[in-house]
Structures are given as structure tokens and as C-alpha cells.
Amino acid sequence: MSLVEDPMDGRAAAVSAGGPLLAAEVIDVEADVGRLWMLRSDALVAPAIRAAEGVWEPDLSAFLRRRLRPGDTFVDVGAHVGYFSLLAGSLVGPTGRVIAVEPEPLTRTLLQANLWRHRMEAATVVAAAALDRRDHVRVGRSPEGIGQVLADGQGGALLVPALPLDELLEGVEVDVVKLDCDFSDHLAVRGLRRTIESNPGITIVVEFVAVATDHRPGNLSGASGAEVLTEYRELPLRLRVLDPGGEAISSTDRQLLDQPPGGLQTLVLDNREG
């Protein structure tokens, strides 16, 4: 069974009452990467894009604009409706490659539709979650209307397949991996070890929550923030954090852990200078 889907399959999803989504469920949001179809129930990403004049996660967007080059391969894990896939596609160009991984079915329908809308039919869409093993995970929707992975016992509505990214990326020259895995980014990184070894110039961008990481809905391992940082420090990569302007700067574990509850930081794992 293939987990790879054709973006063209989603071309009518956001505008047809006969598709997986009713037209009334979908809104059109203006972003700097182009207009995006999003769920009307999205109370997190859509308002943030509007508030930032069309930009989602300005620090990460700025970093990717500096890092990606024509011909690069970008892997967008937790691709949501495709903002970063579209941004990367504009930067890597026709000689590059975009692989978008999204486990939540409704969100993935909009991802496919947005890729089709902006003529990125060559992008690869993967219907799976990223873990350190082959398994299934529960997915549901957060109170903000965002698809998310749920830990056992949380009553997720759907079971979806999960796999190590090493299986997906075997033989692929990878330049940048962006992870947004609902507080289980470290498990996805565990599943990238062969890819890291075979791509010494790789850059991996992960989300990190220092406080109460073990209580987050999608933290499937129960690891604390300190334990996650220890795992990252053991990789053959340097660890830095993005500042508000999108510059990757050095930071100690103490600084990274000394954050208020729920404080989200974006970490960069790479071997590149600058």
C-alpha cells in the first residue's frame, strides 16, 4: 500500500460540496505565498497569518528564505495546509523537490488543494505521521480547530499510519527538514538517523516546548524537555535556536529550558556555518 498521494486528487476538495469538505467549511486566506484554502474552524493559524500580514511563523519563514536554494529538497513534516511547502516550492524552483507529510485527513485534503491551486502538482504528499517506528497514531482536532496527533487514552477519532522518515527518504538527497509533529518532533528525529548520516549538510528545524512537555497532547514518549535536548545534543549536529528575526543563534540547555509554560521555541540542527 502506498502512502503517497497525488496533489491533483485535492483540486476540487475546497470548492465542491461533493468532495470531502463542504464549501461552507472552507475560507480563503491571503498569505504571502498566495491565497490558501483553510478550515473555517481554524482559530490558530488563519488568525495568525492575518495578524502578521500574510506570514506564518515569521522567524521560520525568514530562516527558510535564507537557507533554501534552487535545486534543494525540502521535507515538510506536519505540512498542515501547505504554507511552508508553497514557500519552499518558490525557493527550490522547478529543479528542486518538496515532500509534504500530513497525517490528518481533512487538513491533507486542503494541502492537496492548495498545492494544485498554485501549480505545485510535482510535490509529493505523504499520508502518514512521522515516528521512530512503524505504528499507528490517533489524530483528532485541537480546541483551536487544528489537526493534531493525540496520545493514547485521549480518544482520537481516527487511526492513521506512522513511519520513520528514514523509510520515506531512503536514497533521497535531503537539504532541509521542517518538523511540526505536535510535541513529538524528537520521535521524528529518531526516525531520521540514517538520513542524517547520509546527508552531512542537512538542516533540521524542530519545535520545542521546554516546560510541561511530558503533558502535551501529542507527546507520545512522555519525554521531558531536558531529555529531548539531551537526545538532540547527542546527534552529529550542532543545536541552535531561532531568534525573532529568523537568525539561528547559540543557546545553552539552561537558557532553552528557562521558559514559561507553553513557550514554543524553534530549534535548528545542522552542520552549516552561518
Of 223, 225, 215, the closest CA to residue 258 belongs to 225
In a domain, residue 197? The reply is yes
In a domain, residue 12? The reply is no
- Whether residue 164 is predicted with pLDDT greater than 80 in this model: the reply is yes
**Which pLDDT tens digit goes with each residue over 177-196?**
999 998 889 999 999 999 99
In a domain, residue 24? The reply is no
pLDDT value at position 153? 58
pLDDT value at position 162? 95
Q: Provide the CATH number for the domain around residue 114.
A: 3.40.50.150
In a domain, residue 33? The reply is no
Q: 136-163: string of b/e by CB count within 10 Å (b at 16+)?
A: ebbbbbeeeebbbbbbeeeebeeebbbb
pLDDT band at 152 (very low <50, low <70, confident <90, very high): low
- Whether residue 6 is predicted with pLDDT greater than 90 in this model: the reply is no
pLDDT value at position 173? 98
In a domain, residue 200? The reply is yes
pLDDT band at 155 (very low <50, low <70, confident <90, very high): low
**pTM for the whole structure:** 0.90
Taking the C-alpha atoms of residue 103 and residue 87, their distance in angstroms, rounded to an integer, is 20
Residue 246, domain extent = 56-270
Q: Would you state the cell numbers that stand for residue 224, as one nine-digit string?
A: 521531558
In a domain, residue 193? The reply is yes
In a domain, residue 28? The reply is no
Beta bridge partners of 158: 139
Q: Which of 86-100, 123-137, 146-160, 208-222 has the lowest mean pLDDT?
A: 208-222
- Whether residue 274 is predicted with pLDDT greater than 50 in this model: the reply is no
In a domain, residue 44? The reply is no
Q: Torsions phi, psi of 86, nearest 5?
A: -70, -40
Of 13, 28, 115, the closest CA to residue 74 belongs to 115
What domain count does the chain have?
1
Alpha carbons within 13 A on the beta-carbon side of 214: 6
- Whether residue 18 is predicted with pLDDT greater than 50 in this model: the reply is no
Q: Would you state the cell numbers that stand for residue 244, as one nine-digit string?
A: 525573532
